[in-house]
Amino acid sequence: MASHLVDLTTLRTVEWTRDGVRLIDQRQLPNRLTFLLCRNYRQVARAIRDMTVRGAPAIGVTAAMGLALAAKRSRHSDGKMLLLDVEKAAEIIRATRPTARNLFWAVERMLGKAREAADQGRDIRETLAAEAQLMADEDVQANRKMGAYGAELIQDGDTILTHCNTGTMATVSYGTALGVIRSAISQGKKVKLIATETRPRQQGARITVYEALSDKIPVTLIVDSAVAITMSKGMVDKVIVGADRITRTAVANKVGTFMIALAAKHHCIPFYVAAPTTTFDLTIEPTAMSIEERDPREVTEINGRQITPKKGVRVFNPAFDLTPLELVTAVITEKGVLSREQIQNMTKIRPNTGG
């Protein structure tokens, strides 16, 4: 175990290398810290789909690197033909997971850059490789800024409940909600963490606990359904979670977030969302958002062993839920802390373009 207690405030979950896109294989955590090298964009798409890499910001940058890889591996030297290959890869990558806004934002930004380069006769391969790496750096910068803004909301001695994983493993590095906690701690504040297990894939029990222990943050694990009693016992000062997509009326995040927000409201506990502006989608109606439903076996099997009777049971396995914005105290972004009212009245948000 000690061998992989690396510094998670600087480790990168996704990295562009000479040979392809290098990802931490998060399905192996916490037992093994291993890396997977994706040598072509199809392998990148598969890694997103099977959750080798997960977390909205990490998925966004991985998608961008997948498109840079598609350009790099294209057999075409002609700009237009190469662009077609990138566009084909974009279709495959878009289809991997439907909910996280960052994925679509990243694909759009990369396609824009590719088309611009083609129009201007610049090298698409180099343009996209540079852009994807820029986006990775921007993600880390955004997390650090979010951390600085968010840390102001945390008091010395706070116990913070979080859901799923929002740390280094959910981003390129450092994290969103967990990044805010890291920043508060680096300011010298004592902060304790309560991590929810996060069924069905246990990202809390597996990954958040792993990150907290690596950082020596005191962490207590609870099952998802113990949130309300934990709050009722006065054990929680604040909730901070991440987001997969933020609209003007709701926050899509890992299934269970909505129930935590309801429990927080009942107990008058502040409920914060920490997410980069690349997560915002101000045009969509929440009802039009596609909420991913995943394989029933995530629920009926644990560690490959059947829990339920083998035949006859139906499963509803949504990966996300929609928390009404009325339940959200504020959203911590890299551009500052936005109140509920500010988001409701927003018509436009301009994610960093690193320019």
Torsions phi, psi for 246 (to 5 deg): -120, 120
Q: Is the Cβ of residue 262 or residue 349 nearer to a second copy in the bound state?
A: 262
Beta strands (DSSP E) in 181-222 are 192-196, 219-222
Mind giving me the DSSP string for 215-275?
TT--EEEE-GGGHHHHHHTT--SEEEE--SEE-SSEEEEETTHHHHHHHHHHTT--EEEE-
Structure tokens of 320? 């996300």
Choice from 81, 95, 226, 282 touching a second copy (CB under 8 A): 226
E strand or H helix that includes residue 161: strand 159-162
Choice from 17, 225, 283, 290 touching a second copy (CB under 8 A): 225
Contact flag: residue 232 with a second copy (CB under 8 A): yes
Rounded to whole angstroms, the Cα distance separating 324 from 321 reads: 10
Beta bridge partners of 318: 293
Contact flag: residue 259 with a second copy (CB under 8 A): yes
Choice from 84, 130, 148, 213 touching a second copy (CB under 8 A): 213
Q: Is the Cβ of residue 84 or residue 213 nearer to a second copy in the bound state?
A: 213
Closest CA to 131 of 52, 85, 70: 70
State the residue for tokens 């008058």. 268
Choice from 150, 175, 179, 200 touching a second copy (CB under 8 A): 200
- Total residues binding a second copy (CB under 8 A): 57
Rounded to whole angstroms, the Cα distance separating 143 from 185 reads: 15
Rounded to whole angstroms, the Cα distance separating 320 from 107 reads: 21
Q: Give the number of other CB atoms < 10 A from CB of residue 35.
A: 12
Contact flag: residue 316 with a second copy (CB under 8 A): yes
Residues 165-194 that bind a second copy (CB under 8 A): 194
Choice from 84, 130, 284, 315 touching a second copy (CB under 8 A): 315
Choice from 72, 206, 238, 245 touching a second copy (CB under 8 A): 206
Q: Which residues are catalytic?
A: 244
Q: Is the Cβ of residue 32 or residue 39 nearer to a second copy in the bound state?
A: 32
Site string for a second copy, 3-42 (x = CB under 8 A): ---------------------------x------------
Q: Is the Cβ of residue 95 or residue 226 nearer to a second copy in the bound state?
A: 226
Summarize as ranges the residues that interact with a second copy (CB under 8 A). Answer: 1, 30, 194, 196-200, 202, 205-206, 209-210, 213, 218-230, 232, 235, 255-256, 258-259, 262-263, 266, 291, 299-300, 302-303, 305, 307-318, 320-322
